Amino acid sequence: MSEKVIVTAALTGAIHTPTMSQNLPITPDEIAEEARRASEAGATVVHVHARDPETGQPSADSNLFGEILSKIKSKCDAVICTTTGGGFGMTVEQRVSVVKAYSPELASLNAGSLNFALHPILGKIKEFKHDWEPQYLAMSEDFIFPNTFKTLREFSEFFAVEDTKPELEIYDAGMLSNVAYLIQQGNIKKPIYLQFVLGILGGMQATLNNLVFLVNSAKEIIGDDFVWSVCAAGKNQFKMCNAALLMGGFARVGLEDNLYLEKGRMAESSGEQVEKIVRIGREHGIEPATPAEAREILKLKGLEKVRY
Ligand code: KMH
Ligand code: ZN
């Protein structure tokens, strides 16, 4: 008997910088090609950020997003989940603009604030390709990723107008209470979709105990009416995704979260990481859901209702 799970490929993100891997997709063409590759490998959903094509810096440019979304749509049928986390230093308005402009089926909604810290990576890199990279990493030491209750309410309202399903990013246990509050206020509707984001300095670390605790806490605080996925920064990506599959959850891989395929071997693409987690899942009789099945599982509005 096979079970169907949503496998997400987070293609580029806003954490890693071009110096860290030559395989990080930067331009709309590269990001769309990565989406195609990930989809071919079995990814159900692709999670996208935009980057400045010249410098690789995370970007909130609406035209760039438009180009990325339409190029992905023309190359594969994976469900697209746009970021509203954006990149460090972007305003809340900039972050949500992709939802207002393109009305995606699914988008991230970061469920609370944290000191999203990447500065320890600075010490590991001697020479950077671009000046913005060390500055970006250094500023994160003092950066609170702002997702206040006002922001959460406003984001939820914009999502509701567009009928965009929120993928609620949970970095810490308290954020589950924030989600419960949003449900109670009628800002978001069950069934909800949680993405546990583990291993970020400033949030909960990627351990099995933490994952079990979060899933149990979610049941306690929210009830049974949710589906969940996990992603983990760096070397814990596959361990946590494997655990999630065994626990009845979904899995997110991709170069946004981890640049490696295994110890000492960099991933050539997010697609390679998708292949690996799909292979691990199949060993347990677990199959990736198709985009059509994901639309059923997540109750998405459908591709005909997006504006890209
Ligand atoms: N860019 C990070 C600050 C998301 O896509 O919503 C958070 C992030 C999550 O990447
Ligand atoms: Zn992201």
Cβ 14 under 6 angstroms from ligand 1: yes
84 alpha carbon, closest ligand: 1
**For the chain, how many structural domains are there in total?**
1
Render pLDDT for 104-144 as a digit per residue (tens, 0 to 9).
999 999 999 999 999 999 999 999 999 999 999 999 999 99
Reply yes or no on whether the pLDDT at 3 is more than 90: no
6 Cα: distance to centroid of ligand 1 (angstroms)? 19
- For the CA atoms of 109, 111, 112, 118, the dihedral, rounded to the nearest 10 degrees, stands at -60
CATH number at residue 87: 3.20.20.70
- For the CA atoms of 82, 293, 271, 201, the dihedral, rounded to the nearest 10 degrees, stands at 50
Cβ 28 under 6 angstroms from ligand 1: no
63 Cα: distance to centroid of ligand 1 (angstroms)? 19
Reply yes or no on whether the pLDDT at 188 is more than 70: yes
Q: Please state the length of the chain.
A: 308
Cβ 236 under 6 angstroms from ligand 1: no
**Domain membership of residue 65 as a residue range:** 4-305
Q: How confident is the model at residue 2 (pLDDT cuts 50, 70, 90)?
A: low
Reply yes or no on whether the pLDDT at 29 is more than 70: yes
> In 3-state terms, what secondary structure has residue 2?
coil
DSSP structural state of residue 201 = B
87 Cα: distance to centroid of ligand 1 (angstroms)? 6
- CA–CA separation, 100 and 255 (whole Å): 26
- Give the atom of ligand 1 at the shortest distance from the alpha carbon of 83: 5
CB 233 within 8 Å of CB 257: yes
